[in-house]
Amino acid sequence: MRLVADRVRVQVPATAGNLGPGFDALGLALGVADELDVRAVAAADVGIEIEGEGADSLPRDDTHLVVRALREALDHVGASQVGLAIRATNRIPHGRGLGSSAAAVVAGIWAARGLIAEPDALSPEVALELATRFEGHPDNAAPAILGGATVAWQDADGAHARPLVMADEIETAVLIPRSVLPTTQARSVLPAQVPHADAAFNAGRAALLVNALAGRPEDLFAATEDRLHQGYRAEVMAAAPAMIAHLRAQGIAAVVSGAGPSVLVLGTDLASHGLSTGHLAWAEGIGDESWRCVHTVERVPGAMVERL
């Protein structure tokens, strides 16, 4: 496979996984995105400039997740490896359940897609499979690639995803605390087995949620109940349960975003509930935290690449 471009610009959205009951299956693209400017250079070196999230902590060499994913994608299609000059503008908060690692992986794959002669060789289906090898599960990578709401699963043939219908009137708001929680820690508290009754409960709520997203917002509150992961994770993120309890006491459909500790809200006319983009003064101190909000009204597109 030949490289036919030497510079591309990539944009990938933040994502929320699980959406409450849809553990490791349902996902949703959110209205904040990372942007990368990637240049292929003759030298074998890697140069990375980072602005925003992770500017003080992320590596600037081949171990950077974007670079690893980009090189894996080039190898997958048989394209030559090149030196890279990357400028990253990171807006997706790290360690807060907003799919920052999935966004980095998808950004690398999408950059490779833009550089090669036949982009379809890195189709959304192929990209999802490659991303899942990095992530271990596809629920964040799927909406990062496809946009909107998605359902994803794995079988003997690999990872798969389908877009879900999401009615125009349904909005999202994600409430982001100052504190962080590594996904590995959030997963470490989950039990190896759960009661059959809890599994049956979640299966019903996940099915109801798919229907509610399609145009029954009055069912969102019941549809976002969960018994598989949020209760177990409460011990490692005190702020999120406090915020969820505060919102759900008002009849607002609030859940942990991904592995947390951010909180995702699904509903209509969310601004009337004080859920507008920016710092939330009314939320100060809930869970001993300070909270900011990203409110999204329109469907969020998936990853995009532009040749420059």
For the CA atoms of 178, 299, 253, 160, what is the dihedral angle to 10 degrees? -90
CA angle 76, 161, 147 (to 5 degrees): 95
pLDDT computed for residue 235 by the predictor = 83
Alpha-carbon span 251 to 257, nearest angstrom:
18
Any binding-site annotation on 290? no
Q: What are phi and psi of 302, to 5 degrees?
A: -80, -165
Alpha-carbon span 102 to 112, nearest angstrom:
16
Any binding-site annotation on 101? yes
Q: pLDDT band at residue 187, thresholds of 50, 70 and 90?
A: confident
Q: Say if residues 10 and 305 touch (Cβ distance below 8 Å).
A: yes
Show the domains of the chain with their CATH numbers.
7-164+299-307 (3.30.230.10), 171-296 (3.30.70.890)
In this structure, are strands 253-256 and 149-155 parallel, antiparallel, or unpaired? unpaired
Any binding-site annotation on 102? yes
Closest CA to 12 of 305, 297, 307: 305
Element (H, E) at 187: helix 183-188
User: Number of C-alpha atoms within 13 angstroms, CB side, residue 155?
Assistant: 4
Alpha-carbon span 174 to 177, nearest angstrom:
10
Section 19-38 average pLDDT: 97
Any binding-site annotation on 267? no
Beta-carbon neighbour count of residue 141 at 10 Å? 34
Section 35-62 average pLDDT: 94
pLDDT computed for residue 294 by the predictor = 97
Helix, strand, or coil (residue 140): coil
Checking if the pLDDT of 186 tops 80, the result is no
Any binding-site annotation on 173? no
Section 278-306 average pLDDT: 96
Q: pLDDT band at residue 43, thresholds of 50, 70 and 90?
A: confident
Checking if the pLDDT of 160 tops 80, the result is yes
Whole-number average pLDDT of the chain: 96
Section 39-43 average pLDDT: 90
Q: Say if residues 23 and 134 touch (Cβ distance below 8 Å).
A: no
Any binding-site annotation on 111? no
Any binding-site annotation on 141? no
Distances (CA, A) of 77 to 58, 73, 85, 140, 308: 27, 7, 21, 23, 22
Q: Say if residues 173 and 32 touch (Cβ distance below 8 Å).
A: no
Phi and psi based region of residue 142 (left: phi greater than 0; alpha: psi -120 to 50; beta: remaining): alpha
Any binding-site annotation on 16? no
Alpha-carbon span 77 to 251, nearest angstrom:
49
Q: Who contacts 119 (Cβ-Cβ below 8 Å, separation ≥6)?
A: 113
Any binding-site annotation on 95? yes
Beta bridge partners of 265: 173, 254
pLDDT computed for residue 223 by the predictor = 98
Helix, strand, or coil (residue 153): strand
Q: Which two tokens stand for residue 215?
A: 């145009």
Beta bridge partners of 51: 89
pTM score of the predicted model: 0.95
Any binding-site annotation on 93? yes
DSSP 8-state symbol, 218: G
Q: pLDDT band at residue 188, thresholds of 50, 70 and 90?
A: confident
Kindly report, residue by residue over 235-250, the tens digit of the pLDDT.
Answer: 888 899 999 999 999 9
> What's the burial of 191, exposed, middle or buried (CB within 10 Å: 0-12/13-18/19+)?
exposed
* Least reliable range by pLDDT among 66-70, 126-130, 218-222, 231-235: 231-235
pLDDT computed for residue 67 by the predictor = 97
Any binding-site annotation on 148? no
Section 188-215 average pLDDT: 96
Higher confidence at residue 227 or residue 180?
227
In this structure, are strands 7-17 and 304-307 parallel, antiparallel, or unpaired? antiparallel
